[in-house]
């Protein structure tokens, strides 16, 4: 619910510039959105994840809100905005888990279990 159509997004739409543009848009459109929603009196507000003004309006009006998220289509000319975080899970994993190594020649190897050998089935 954006008065006058959708907001003009920055070009290129990268996370920092996009967040700034969304925050500025929210401040600009929120009064009009609140006026319209007070008149309609919805029981639920479904909003896009890139529309923070609707989430704020829902909280202000005490109405439940649901956010719909979309995925991003990225290619060579439009890199993924999450590219910088791709390595974070691996860097947060302890080395002992990340790259297990076989025991060295002087390290003790586990003994096979005691008891009869397992039967081989032909």
Q: Please report the pLDDT score of residue 65 as a whole number.
A: 92
Predicted pLDDT at 2? 45
Which pTM value belongs to this model? 0.47
Highest mean pLDDT among 15-19, 28-32, 116-120: 28-32
Q: Measuring CA to CA, which residue among 25, 64, 28 is closest to residue 47?
A: 64
């Amino acid at each position: 619910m954006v008065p006058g159509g959708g907001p003009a997004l920055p070009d290129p739409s990268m996370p920092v510039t996009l967040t700034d543009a969304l925050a500025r848009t929210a401040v600009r459109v929120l009064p009009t959105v609140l006026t319209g929603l007070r008149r309609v009196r919805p029981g639920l507000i479904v909003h896009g994840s890139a529309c923070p003004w609707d989430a704020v309006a829902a909280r202000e009006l005490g109405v439940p809100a649901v956010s719909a998220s979309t995925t991003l289509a990225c290619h060579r000319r439009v890199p993924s905005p999450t590219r910088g975080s791709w390595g974070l899970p691996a860097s947060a994993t302890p080395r002992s888990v990340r790259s297990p190594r076989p025991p060295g020649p002087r390290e003790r190897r586990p003994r096979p279990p005691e008891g009869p050998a397992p039967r081989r089935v032909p």
